[in-house]
Structure formats: structure tokens, C-alpha cells
């Protein structure tokens, strides 16, 4: 949903490597565009929950979208209002967009299917701020480089020295 609303590929300005995996486990998430209606933002955040049991099921999502679709027939509904406001923001963004503003993909951002095998990753956590630019919620005391090296060493059967 977020990729469709933002029209941006998630993590395109980051190398898609072990460092990114650790950062995601620590709560690193793509920004949610301001052109996304609040009701959809809330749904995206629920879908991104670190605990799979807290995420809505496909059946629940279908019911929510069906409800929104019915409500959109009423021009005074909350979803209709939010969509109209977001469309205004999107129009203004398009008017002000230049070719230089379009982001470039990181050369190590890989978007093809491949097998990833990670062991001993940190326990996934939720982000604390979804609405600002890509967030890094790793505390200043934690070092993602060391944590990623720990993952790689553990995969090789080595003991971490950090």
C-alpha cells in the first residue's frame, strides 16, 4: 500500500544487504508519504507490525477496503475528505517536482528474487516514527555494523569478539 501511495520503491537509496536487514529488525521503515490518507496510514502501520499476530488478515483487509469503498460514496465521509485533501497535496507536489528531485536507486539496491539466509537476527521491533523521512531507530549505544558482523560470524559458526 505504501509503495503504491508514495510511488517510491522502499529502501531504494540503501544497499540491500545484512546491514539493512538488521536496521529493519530494529524498526527502520520507509517513510509514509504525506499524500496518504490518515486512515490508510493507520492501516499501513498495522500491516508493518513487528509481530505477525498483530497484523490484519487478508479477510480483515478486504472488509476494511469494502467499508472504505462504501463510505467513499458519501462526499461528507471521513475517507472522502482525507482523499480530497491528499489529492490537493499530490497536485502541489507534482507542480513543484523537477527531474533533479527524483531519487536515484542505490547501486546495491537489488530488486530481484533471491534466497536470503539470516540467523541470529535481533528481535523485530516497530518503528517509533513512520511519518518522517526514513527512520533509523537504532539507539546510539547500539552499533549496527557490529550487530551485522555478529550475524555473519554466527552464520559461519564463529564466535563474536565484540
The average confidence (pLDDT) of the chain is: 76
Give the whole-angstrom CA distance, residue 65 versus residue 142. 40
pTM: 0.62
Query: Locate cell 565484540: which residue?
Result: 162
pLDDT in the model for residue 8: 84
pLDDT in the model for residue 131: 54
Query: pLDDT of 20-71, one tens digit each?
Result: 888 888 999 988 888 888 889 999 999 999 999 999 999 999 999 999 889 8
Give the whole-angstrom CA distance, residue 2 versus residue 41. 8
pLDDT in the model for residue 60: 95
Give the whole-angstrom CA distance, residue 23 versus residue 159. 21
Amino acid at each position: 500500500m505504501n509503495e503504491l501511495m508514495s510511488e517510491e520503491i522502499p529502501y531504494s537509496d540503501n544497499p540491500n544487504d545484512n546491514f539493512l536487514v538488521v536496521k529493519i529488525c530494529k524498526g527502520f521503515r520507509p517513510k509514509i508519504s504525506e499524500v496518504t490518507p490518515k486512515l490508510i496510514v493507520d492501516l499501513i502501520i498495522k500491516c508493518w507490525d513487528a509481530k505477525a499476530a498483530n497484523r490484519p488478515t487478508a479477510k480483515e483487509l478486504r472488509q476494511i477496503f469494502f467499508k472504505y469503498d462504501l463510505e467513499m460514496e458519501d462526499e461528507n465521509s471521513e475517507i472522502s475528505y482525507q482523499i480530497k485533501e491528499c489529492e490537493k497535496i499530490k497536485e502541489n507536489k507534482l507542480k513543484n517536482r523537477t527531474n533533479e528531485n527524483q531519487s536515484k536507486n542505490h547501486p546495491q539496491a537489488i530488486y530481484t528474487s533471491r534466497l536470503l539466509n539470516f540467523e541470529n537476527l535481533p528481535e523485530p521491533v516497530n518503528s517509533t516514527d513512520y511519518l518522517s523521512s526514513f527512520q533509523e531507530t537504532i539507539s546510539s549505544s547500539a552499533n549496527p555494523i557490529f550487530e551485522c558482523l555478529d550475524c555473519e560470524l554466527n552464520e559461519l559458526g564463529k564466535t563474536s569478539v565484540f
